[in-house]
Structure 1
Amino acid sequence: MAAFSNSAWKIIPQFCSISIPQTIKFYTESLHFTLGGTHPDDENSIPIFCSVAIGKKADANIYFFKTKLPSSTNERGSEDTERVFHHSSAMIALGTTELDEYYDILTKEGTVKITRPIEDQPWGYRQFTVEDPDGNKLTFFKFLEGGNPGTE
């Protein structure tokens, strides 16, 4: 096997956001993620990009890009595909005990829309799904067998 195929160490999903400030507020305040950065990064500009993360060394990292809602046509009378917003989803693995602890915190605070409550799945995961204000979905999970990395 070629060396490059063993060198991958991270994947970063890219999500659309209608409002980067709203995205930052939701992910940092409601989901307790850490803000990695914004662009532009000066205080006088409205950001068009942000990075949020959770976990050691930002193991679970998501990039958000400001995207406009789709318009019906552009000046040429055709669909403007560069402006089309689409929902995204990702899965984030948590530790053995941390998954249930995180779920309990989110349900107690009541500021997050949980679209699928926590439950064991026949494919061997215990998981729950949340939805952000733009309709993007995150599923947090742990393996039911074989152990999970975490703080234990």
Structure 2
Amino acid sequence: MSSHVVNSAWKVIPMFESRSISQTVDFYTKTLGFELASVKPEHGKSEQYFCSIFIGKKAEANFYFSKVSAESFKSSHAYIALGTSELDDFHVYLKRTPGVEFDKEIEDTPWGFRQFTIKDIDGNLLTFFKFLEGGNPGEE
């Protein structure tokens, strides 16, 4: 029974914290080029407390953000796999984009990744990577 349940998993959605959902949406959509899936509440009815953003076909890289106070905020870290040529292209794009803070520059790692890490406006870390060997799903 447990192998059937485990084998049915089809997606992981990390949950990050945000001090301002509207600023998070702006950074991820306008600066990084992610897509907005939803915001709660919608249409400015009151202060926003949740958003969902994504990149990739079928929202394969999807992130949820919940609003927290500055005092209770804790940063998170996620890895996002990109296609073979797209990783370097995205790195070049982000290096030229105002408002993007790099935590670690692009490098080839001993564990077989080519990767770089940026910080979002709250200090959450996003590591974009590709495999050095064996090909990369997602490439065109």
TM-score (norm 2): 0.95
Shift of 1:43: 2.9
After superposing on structure 2, the runs of 4+ consecutive aligned residues of structure 1 that deviate more than 4 Å are none
1:4 corresponding residue in structure 2:
5
Shift of 1:151: 3.4
1:22 corresponding residue in structure 2:
23
Query: Equivalents in 2 of 1:105, 1:46: separation in Å?
Result: 32
Query: Equivalents in 2 of 1:141, 1:101: separation in Å?
Result: 12
Match of 2:30, SS?
A: helix
Q: Equivalent residues in 2 for 1:2-151 (5 A)?
A: 2-70=3-71, 84-151=72-139
Shift of 1:45: 2.4
Shift of 1:41: 1.1
Aligned partners of 1:98 and 1:150 also within 8 Å: no
Query: Equivalents in 2 of 1:85, 1:122: separation in Å?
Result: 32
CA offsets 1:43-94 (integer angstroms, 9 cap, x no match): 3322110001010011001100000022xxxxxxxxxxxxx21010100000
Give the aligned residue type for 1:128.
Answer: F
Which structure 2 segments of 5+ residues have no match? none
Give the aligned residue type for 2:9.
Answer: A
Shift of 1:42: 2.3
Query: Equivalents in 2 of 1:115, 1:136: separation in Å?
Result: 10
Shift of 1:111: 2.5
Shift of 1:2: 2.4
Alignment: residue pair count: 139
CA offsets 1:12-35 (integer angstroms, 9 cap, x no match): 000110000000000001111000
- Report percent identity of matched pairs: 54
Max Rg structure: 1
CA root-mean-square deviation = 1.1
CA offsets 1:90-128 (integer angstroms, 9 cap, x no match): 000000110001111111223311111111011100000
Aligned partners of 2:37 and 2:51 also within 8 Å: yes
Which structure 1 segments of 5+ residues have no match? 71-83
